[in-house]
Amino acid sequence: MAGTVRERARASKGVNLVLATLSSVVCFWAWTSVAPLGVRYSLDLDLTSTQASVAMPVFVGSIGRIPVGVLTDRFGGPLMFTAVLLATVPALLLVALAGTLGVYWARVLCALLLGVAGTVFTVGIPFVSNWYELSRRGFATGIFGAGMGGTALSAFFTPRFVNWFGYFSTHLILAGLLVATAVLVRTCMGNAPTWVSNTQPFVPKLVAASKLGVTWQMYFLYGVVFGGFVAFSTYLPTYLRDIYDFDLTAAGTRTAGFAVAAVLLRPVGGILADRMGPKPVVIVSLAAVAVLAWIVNLRPDGEIPAGLTFVAMASALGLGAGGVFAWLGRKAPPDKVGSVSGIVSADEGSAAIFPHS
C-alpha cells in the first residue's frame, strides 16, 4: 500500500510541483536566516550597517547555481533537491556556532557556506518545466518561484523563534525542518516521464548554454528583477532600523510583508505570461520598478507611505520574476534548461553588492 502511494505521488505533476515548492520555501528560509538577525548581529558585534548587511549567502548561492544547474540536467530533480537540502544543514549549524562565538569574520565565512541553500532555485526550474507542457510552464515556474516565500517566513519567524527558543535552538529547529523535507522529497518525488539525463561533460555543456542568445537576455532581466528582490529583502531589516528606527521584530515583520507581496505576484507574472506572452509582463514590471526606485530614494516620510512604496516595489519585482522565468522556459532548449537557468540565476549575485551601493 505504502509503495503504491509513493508511486502515485512520483507520477503526479501536482504533487511534484508542491514538493519542489516546499523544498524551495525551506531552503529560502535557511538561506535568508542571517538577514532578519542583522540588527542582533549589529548590537552584539558592534557592526556598521554595511558589515551587518554582508550578503555572502546570496553571492555564493548565486555562483553555486551554475554547477548545480548542470548537475540537475544530468541527475534530475529528486536527487539534487535532496542533496541541496541536506548540504544546507551543516552550513546552517556552522552559522549558529559562529554567531554564538561572536566572531564577525567567522560569521561571514560560515554564511558563505550557507549559500548552498540558494542553489535550490536552479534545481526547481528545469524540474517543474519538464513536468508541464509549454503553455503551462509560466504557471508551473510561477508557483515554484513562490517558494521564495521562505524569505517572508524567515523575516517573520526567525527573530521570534530566537526570542522564544533561543539563538542556537532556532537554528536546530530549522535544520530539523531541512532534514524532514529531504526525507519527504527522496521518498515521494519523481522525475517527469519526458525527462532524459544529459550526460554531456560539464564544461562543454556550460559553453553550449553560454552561446545561446536567450541565456544572456534572461541573465540581464533576471539580475534586475530577482536580484533586486533579494537585495531589498536582505538589506531591508537594517534599512528600517537605520532610517525608521524599528527594532528587530518590527523590522522583520515589515520585511516579511515585502516578501509576501513579491511571492503573491510571482505566480501572477507566470500566469499572465502564459496568456499574454512574457514580454509585455516584463516591460510593465521594469517600468514600475524604475518609478518606484526613484520614490524609495526620496525616503517617503511616515510608515504608511513608505510601507506602500516597498510593497509596490516587491509586487513589481515579483511580477517581473514570474515573467522572466516563463520566458526562459519557453525559449531555452529542453535539455539545457538547467544549464541556462543556472547561468541566468547566477546574476542574482549582484544582490550581494547592491545594498552597499
- DSSP string covering 81-103, please? HHHHHHHHHHHHHHHHHHHHHT-
Cα radius of gyration (the chain): 19
- Residue 354 reports pLDDT greater than 50: no
The enclosing H or E element of 139 equals helix 137-145
User: Architecture of domain 2-190+212-356 in CATH?
Assistant: Up-down Bundle (1.20)
**Is the backbone of residue 247 left (phi > 0), alpha (psi -120 to 50) or beta?**
beta
Rounded distance between C-alpha atoms, residue 190 and residue 180, angstroms:
17
pLDDT tens-place string over residues 123-171: 988 898 888 887 787 788 778 877 877 877 887 888 889 889 988 899 9
The grid coordinates listed for 112 are: 558563505
Q: Give the H/E segment covering residue 4.
A: helix 2-10
Nearby residues of 238 by Cβ (< 8 Å), 6 or more positions away? 38, 39, 42, 49, 52, 53, 251
What is the tens place of the pLDDT at every residue in 193-206?
888 887 777 777 77
Task: Please return the burial class of 28, using the count of CB atoms within 10 Å of its CB with bins 0-12, 13-18 and 19+.
Answer: buried
The packing angle between helices 38-45 and 248-276, to 10°, is 150
Q: What is the SS3 assignment for 211-230?
A: CCHHHHHHHHHHHHHHHHHH
What is d(CA 347, CA 122) in angstroms, rounded to the nearest whole number?
A: 12
Q: 76: alpha, beta or left, given left = phi > 0 and alpha = psi -120 to 50?
A: left
Q: What is the pLDDT of residues 271-298, one digit of tens each?
A: 888 888 888 998 999 999 889 888 877 8
Q: Nine-digit cell at 324?
A: 522572466
Pull the grid cell for residue 290: 524604475
pLDDT band at 213 (very low <50, low <70, confident <90, very high): confident
Convert the pLDDT of each residue in 310-340 to its tens digit.
888 888 888 888 888 777 777 777 666 667 7
Q: How confident is the model at residue 270 (pLDDT cuts 50, 70, 90)?
A: confident
Alpha carbon distance, N-terminus to C-terminus of the chain: 57
What residues does each domain of the chain span? 2-190+212-356
What is the residue type of 161? F
Q: Is the pLDDT of residue 38 over 70?
A: no
Mean pLDDT in the chain? Answer: 79
Can you give the pLDDT at residue 185? 94
Report pLDDT for 44.
54
Q: What is the pTM of this model?
A: 0.72
